[in-house]
Chain A
Amino acid sequence: MGSLQLKSIRKAFGNHEVLKGIDLEVEDGEFVIFVGPSGCGKSTLLRVIAGLEDATSGSVQIDGQEVVTTPPAKRGIAMVFQSYALYPHLTVKDNMGLGLKQMGAPKAEVDAKVTKASGMLSLEPYLARRPAELSGGQRQRVAIGRAIVREPKLFLFDEPLSNLDAALRVNTRLEIARLHRSLKATMIYVTHDQVEAMTLADKIVVLNAGQIEQIGSPMELYNRPANTFVGGFIGSPQMNFIEAGRLGDTGAKTVGIRPEHITLSRESGDWKGKVIHVEHLGADTILYLETEVTGLLTVRLFGEHKYDVDDTVYASPDKAAMHRFGADDRVLR
């Protein structure tokens, strides 16, 4: 239980088309992440799945059942929002139990499920508190707990970590990954943060301007981007894009090479250049070069390296890790 099919979903606000025909299959138990720049329609797509927005056209099926006309509460979904969206006047316990209570579940069952969910998220000490008395991380755990209690076919997460600080974000991310393993539930997660996408997802859906650019596992997207957009979006620092003509490659328009697939040498190499900025991160050293052949080039070296601004260096790309893109920005294989 918990599969999802989207067929040519379109959504327009007035004349502005936000989703331009989305087709997607999600299998039971998969962790799927929608990722893309802001305004790409990923949140709107999630809302269409939840039933909070009506699609202009297209079909949404959960477990093979058409749900376009089903209200959100009856779709068997639960949603976790970026702003937590806890009911301010209810205690943590009532916040988590409200959905079941509305469905008419007996009190004993609601209590049992709330106890179980709060145990999973170590929320027991806070059950009697109100949301205003909790920290941001605790609030988001309550919001996740509220979703678990409903035992939905589909978990929907709308940028759940965006309001948390960096340390909490990593903890909560681990918690969500752990939950996915123990619940074996289907989860759909929206984020603009590619690190979250890479670390959590079974399958990533890259969206741009209302269209799907590529669907694949994190490593597929990293190793075989379908086009320049995906190549640039996945991976940090960003992939270097070089005009193919400058490299003497007439068959392609652009050549992409990731910063970590370039080696540096002070003596010899393919591209001679000057260091214009260095970032020392401890585990990595990131250099920005101005080379004669390629123009601005980002290079990521592992470990600490002693390079200074204005040093002359030679960069050599790993030829096997180069991506060639054609005139339509699609990859050439």
Chain B
Amino acid sequence: MSKARMSPLRSGFVHLALAAYTVIALFPVVLTIMNSLKDKNAIFRTPLALPTVETFSLIGYTTVLKQGDFIGYFQNSLIVTVVSIFFALLFGAMAAFALSEYRFRGNTLLGLYLAIGIMIPIRLGTVAILQGMVAAGLVNTLTALILVYTAQGLPLAIFILSEFMRTVSDDLKNAGRIDGLSEYAIFFRLVLPLVRPAMATVAVFTMIPIWNDLWFPLILAPGEATKTVTLGSQVFIGQFVTNWNAVLAALSLAIFPVLILYVIFSRQLIRGITAGAVK
């Protein structure tokens, strides 16, 4: 931390700007949670008011928990997100290690090829992916989603991690080689712990789009047994009638698991940063 003093006026402006940004960022979330605790009339009459004694109602939450298998949806979302992050990080880190550590023909070209996925959205390939999944008999399975999301997460993971792996000292890896560690041991025991902050960053960036995605669950796994939370909430949105209480309650509930995952990863992230600074 820098100890240089700032004038109170300047630091006041900084805090003002940050506070304003916080309010803007939190506003939709707070609004959703607030309205999820009101009855239907209050939602439409006074959408910006806090729930009062008269308007307070848990009808949305009871509807959500009664209708459909919401616990199951949560489970599906968690499984898909956690497993996809795990594979994206594992394979991304391995590819990044190979790209940054070994000199071979076409190294730069391969790195570029793998990073192109950042610019081209995977949804462009939806039709082909669906045909592939149908052919492989993977439609309506969580495996289909995990495969797609792992592929979606890989480009960014490889791009960020290979930059970080270049900063790991060559001497350390060479010391491991002289001590007889295999390349796998060097990767898992020496390099991965040192790039942990980068892994946490990638995990956060990969996690949010997967958790929020509606597209691929709707196309690849719309069956009742494999519905994710985002897809599950859609049953309350009808063409003519929308059960807003239930939708808002479902969305509020969907925030918490992802919030917990985020807290876990960001802890790692901060610990990694401070550990590096003290060295």
Asked if A79 meets B181 with Cβ closer than 8 Å, knowing A88-B194, A132-B278, A132-B279, the reply is no
> Is the CB–CB distance between B179 and A98 below 8 Å?
yes
Identify which of B176, B179, B278 gathers the most chain A CB atoms within 10 Å of its CB. Answer: B179
Is A112 interfacial (CB-CB < 8 Å)?
A: no
Q: Which of B179-207 contact A (CB under 8 A)?
A: 179-181, 189-190, 193-194
Q: Which of A60-74 contact B (CB under 8 A)?
A: 71-74
Q: Which of A237-268 contact B (CB under 8 A)?
A: none
Asked if A87 meets B172 with Cβ closer than 8 Å, knowing A98-B179, A99-B179, A132-B278, the reply is yes
Contacts of A150 in B (CB 8 A): 179
> Is the CB–CB distance between B194 and A78 below 8 Å?
no
Our pick among A71, A72, A85, A88 for the contact of B171 (Cβ within 8 Å) is: A85
Assembled-state Cα–Cα distance A50/B180 (Å): 12
Give the residue name and chain of the B residue nearest to A81 (CB): B171
Contacts of A98 in B (CB 8 A): 179, 181
> Is the CB–CB distance between A102 and B180 below 8 Å?
yes
Asked if A52 meets B278 with Cβ closer than 8 Å, knowing A83-B171, A85-B169, A85-B171, the reply is no
Our pick among A47, A74, A79, A132 for the contact of B175 (Cβ within 8 Å) is: A79
Asked if A87 meets B180 with Cβ closer than 8 Å, knowing A52-B174, A81-B174, the reply is no
Is B127 interfacial (CB-CB < 8 Å)?
A: no
Residue interface bits A115-142, CB-to-B below 8 A is 1, else 0: 0000000000000000010000000000
Count, chain B residues at interface, CB 8 A: 17
Assembled-state Cα–Cα distance A86/B178 (Å): 12
Assembled-state Cα–Cα distance A50/B177 (Å): 10
Q: Nearest chain B CB to A298's CB is how many angstroms away?
A: 37
Assembled-state Cα–Cα distance A6/B181 (Å): 26
Residue interface bits A153-179, CB-to-B below 8 A is 1, else 0: 000001000000000000000000000
Contacts of B171 in A (CB 8 A): 81-85, 158
> Is the CB–CB distance between B172 and A78 below 8 Å?
no
Assembled-state Cα–Cα distance A99/B193 (Å): 20
Contacts of B174 in A (CB 8 A): 47, 50, 52, 72, 79, 81, 85
Q: Nearest chain B CB to A193's CB is how many angstroms away?
A: 19
Is A283 interfacial (CB-CB < 8 Å)?
A: no
Contacts of A86 in B (CB 8 A): 175
Q: Nearest chain A CB to B248's CB is how many angstroms away?
A: 46
Residue interface bits A86-120, CB-to-B below 8 A is 1, else 0: 11110000000011001100000000000000000
> Is the CB–CB distance between B178 and A103 below 8 Å?
no
> Is the CB–CB distance between A89 and B179 below 8 Å?
no
Our pick among A71, A87, A132 for the contact of B177 (Cβ within 8 Å) is: A71
Our pick among B180, B193, B279 for the contact of A73 (Cβ within 8 Å) is: B180
Give the residue name and chain of the B residue nearest to A104 (CB): B180
Q: Nearest chain B CB to A153's CB is how many angstroms away?
A: 13
> Is the CB–CB distance between A52 and B177 below 8 Å?
yes
Asked if A83 meets B194 with Cβ closer than 8 Å, knowing A73-B180, A98-B179, A99-B180, the reply is no
Give the residue name and chain of the B residue nearest to A102 (CB): B180
Q: Nearest chain B CB to A240's CB is how many angstroms away?
A: 39
Q: Nearest chain B CB to A158's CB is how many angstroms away?
A: 8
> Is the CB–CB distance between B178 and A50 below 8 Å?
yes
Assembled-state Cα–Cα distance A87/B100 (Å): 20
Contacts of B194 in A (CB 8 A): 88
Give the residue name and chain of the B residue nearest to A50 (CB): B178
Residue interface bits A16-54, CB-to-B below 8 A is 1, else 0: 000000000000000000000000000000010010100
Assembled-state Cα–Cα distance A79/B181 (Å): 14
- Closest 10 A-B residue pairs measured CB to CB? A73-B180, A102-B180, A85-B171, A99-B179, A81-B171, A85-B175, A85-B172, A72-B178, A83-B171, A72-B177
Starting from the known contacts A89-B189, A102-B181, 9 additional A-B residue pairs (CB-CB under 8 Å) come to A72-B174, A73-B181, A85-B169, A87-B172, A87-B176, A98-B179, A103-B180, A132-B279, A146-B175
List 9 A–B pairs whose Cβ atoms lie within 8 Å, in order of A's numbering.
A52-B178, A73-B177, A79-B178, A81-B174, A85-B172, A87-B176, A89-B189, A98-B179, A102-B180
